[in-house]
Structure 1
Amino acid sequence: MQVKDMTVNELKVLIRETLEEVLEEFFSDPDEGEEVREEVKQQLLESKKRRQAGVRGIPAEEVYKKLGITHS
C-alpha cells in the first residue's frame, strides 16, 4: 500500500508506530541485561565515596584543555 492510498487514520497510525520505534531505539539501553564488571563497580563506589567526602573531580576547564576543546 502506498501513502497516497491511505486514509488519514491509517497514515496517523503509521506515523505513530514509526515514531514509537524510533524513540525506543533512541532511548533504549544498549547495555540492558549486561553485568557490570567487578572492577567497574569498585571504581564507581570509590568515586561515590570521594564525592560524598567533598573531593571534586577534574575541573571541566582542565578536561577541555587536555582534549584541546574550545568552548564558549
Structure 2
Amino acid sequence: MQVNNLTIDQLKDLIRETVRETIEEMLIDPDTNQSIKENFKQELLTIKKRRETGVRGISTAEVMQRLGLENR
C-alpha cells in the first residue's frame, strides 16, 4: 500500500496508529518495569499545565533554536 493511494480517512487512521505506537514505546521503561517513564510523565504534566493556562505548544522560533536551525 502506498500513501498516495490512501483516502483521507485511511491516512488519518494510519497517522493515529503511528502516534499511538510511538506513545506506547515512550510509556514503557524496560529498565524498571514501570508503566511510564518518569521524565515522560513529567513532560505530559507540564504540557497539561500549560494548556490549562491557555499556552499552546512552543513557538516556531524556539523549535528552530532547539534544533540549531535559527541561523539558516
Smaller-chain TM-score bracket:
0.3 to 0.5
Structure with greater Cα Rg: 1
TM-score by length of 1: 0.38
TM-score by length of 2: 0.38
If asked which structure has higher relative contact order (CA below 8 Å, sep 6+), I would say 2
